[in-house]
Amino acid sequence: MTAKIPAAILVAALAAVVNAAFAAPAASPAPVDIAALRAEVDRLADTVEPEVIANRRWLHQHPELSNREFETAKYLVSHLQSLGYEVQPGVARTGVVAVLRGGRPGPVVALRSDMDALPVTEEVDLPFKSTVRSTYDGQEVGVMHACGHDAHMGILLGVARILAQLKPQLPGTVKLIFQPAEEGAPRGEEGGAQLMVKEGVLSSDPKPDVIFGLHVLTQFETGQLGYRAGPIWASADDFSIVVHGKGGHGAMPWRGIDPIVVASQIVLGLQTITSRQMDLTKAPTVITVGRIEGGTRQNIIPDSVTMKGTIRALDESMRKDLHARIIRTARDIADSAGATADVDIGAETAYPVTVNDPRLTARMLPTLRRVAGAGLTEVAPQMGAEDFAYFAEKVPGLYVFIGVRKPGASMDEYAANHSPRFRIDESALKLAVRTLAQETVDYLGGSSE
């Protein structure tokens, strides 16, 4: 038997269906006003400039070595929490990750700054000069932000404030990555971008779609913004070669096997790899021996000599080829003299080539052109290295250079990065803040024109 449904219920149900069919659709959110966001970024960049400089100076005066950025991390966490970010400290030992979820749905942009300083004693006479001392590789050293990471953190804190004020209008999410140990973790420790990636900074929620980064360089003047698609920083691999000979009297070398002479031949042999064996029309390569140790006295032939150096390449296949050729060259030269050579590559540093994603670079080029104007410069790739490469291997990345040398000043006045006389023109920092903030707004908004 089938139960009868009361007529009143049927009428009500039919009315509900009709009303739903003809109801007005839900209002769509108003489109993002990218032009207004861009204008607000530039306005706010002016207002945060004094704060950017103040933060940079505090960080410059309180530098910390790789994997030891404890007070630096506390400073960053305090500032980011005050701005309303979701903050996660202790990533990759001392790193800090902060998330800002915009008021509208959209993609996820990651912005990265490095944190660590170098074992360098500062020689620049500044009111905020570093006088910090620490221990590096068993020796007491001065500590200095000689590579500009203090500026990078100050810049990203300024961007963080700008984006926090734009949160209701932001169509997407921003993930700030403050990365420790860019200069390399201490011997026997993991660290840097590689460890951050390993701990899931790019794969955990929110997962970035792209990542942006920058570096201040004194080889470019204030107002210049350098970019290029493809390789922009070289790979970097350390190497160690231990030549084992046979010690003896310096007056009777024929009774021994002189590892110093063999090491000298290996140094010259390594240079023929780059000059005679690599196709330099494809990309440049560099092999540099920076340290040789062996012997205790002028008339004693030692048993062994240790050599240390660095290998640079702008092509990953050439990088692998270099490794094989260095091992073969060192061993064969040693063998020809009756000695042996132990070769170790990448034990302490093994950074890949940093590659700017071509499609992302092309998409953001109008943004860079609008921000820098005539200061935008397409640059040659640099033979320095950056562990930003590990991030750019996982998600499309774009890394640019910001000039920090006062226009008209010489390199003697503004020494190169890593020098104890390194300093920057702080008026350059606003362009860096605008660059990262405008890249973020344009990518989230789906436009760069």
Cis geometry, peptide bond prior to residue 105 (ω within 30 degrees of 0) = no
Residue 393 appears among annotated catalytic residues: no
Q: Which helix (H) or strand (E) holds 17?
A: helix 7-22
Return the residue matching tokens 């998330």: 99
| Interatomic CA distance for residues 262 and 264, integer angstroms | 5
Q: What is the C-alpha R_g of the chain? A: 28
400: three-class secondary structure by DSSP? strand
Q: What sign for the dihedral angle of Cα 369, 370, 371, 375?
A: positive
Report yes or no: 171 and 102 within 8 Å, Cβ to Cβ.
yes
| Interatomic CA distance for residues 439 and 435, integer angstroms | 6
Q: Which helix (H) or strand (E) holds 308?
A: strand 304-313
Closest residue by Cα to residue 234 from 107, 353, 367 = 353
User: Residues in the chain, how many?
Assistant: 449
6: three-class secondary structure by DSSP? coil
- Helices 34-61 and 149-165 cross at an angle (nearest 10°) of 140
Calculate the CA dihedral of residues 70, 75, 78, 84 and round it to 10 degrees.
Answer: -110
Closest residue by Cα to residue 295 from 286, 308, 304, 283 = 304
304 Cβ contact partners less than 8 Å away, ≥ 6 residues apart: 242, 243, 244, 245, 259, 294
Q: Which of 123, 190, 393, 426 is catalytic?
A: 426
Taking the chain, what is the end-to-end CA distance rounded to the nearest angstrom? 69
Residue 68, token pair as written in the block: 């030891």
Q: Which of 227, 351, 399, 414 is catalytic?
A: 351
Residue 439 appears among annotated catalytic residues: no
The residue type found at 152 is: H
Closest residue by Cα to residue 152 from 411, 401, 441 = 401
427 Cβ contact partners less than 8 Å away, ≥ 6 residues apart: 222, 406
Work out the widest C-alpha separation in the chain, in whole angstroms: 120
- Name the residues annotated as catalytic: 351, 426
